[in-house]
Amino acid sequence: MRRGRIPPPEAFTWEDAFHIAVGIICIPVGAIILYRTLSVAVTAPAILVGGGFIAFGLYRLYTAWTRFRLYRQISGGHFPRLQKEPPAPPAKGAKKP
């Protein structure tokens, strides 16, 4: 896997909103898993799963915040609108309808 700089986003999309929502949901789910595990019996798999959910949620929120900051720098600081992904360009040699 090649690591490099992520290009700055051109718009705040529904995909970005979905990633934020997943991050927000993962943190309480991980906390619930940990709470229920510790109240019954301490098991390593449950602690790893609960901690994994919390870590994944924090990672999603961190990456979403980083992308949002990059977008704000490029867009001049105005509040973003949710936009659909732009349509893919037509393939070469494709006939126009």
Structure-token match 């980083």, residue found:
66
Using a pLDDT cut of 90, give the percent of the chain over it: 36
Supply φ then ψ for residue 83, to 5 degrees. -130, 150
pLDDT attached to residue 77 = 61
Helix runs in the chain, H state only: 14-40, 44-75
Summarised one tens digit per residue, pLDDT across range 36-47 is 998 888 889 989
Mean predicted confidence (pLDDT) in 56-78: 83
Distances (CA, A) of 84 to 7, 35, 81, 95: 18, 39, 10, 25
Tokens of 77: 């600081």
Q: Where are the domains of the chain?
A: 12-81
Say if residues 37 and 50 touch (Cβ distance below 8 Å): yes
pTM: 0.67
Answer yes or no: are the C-beta atoms of 8 and 74 closer than 8 Å.
yes
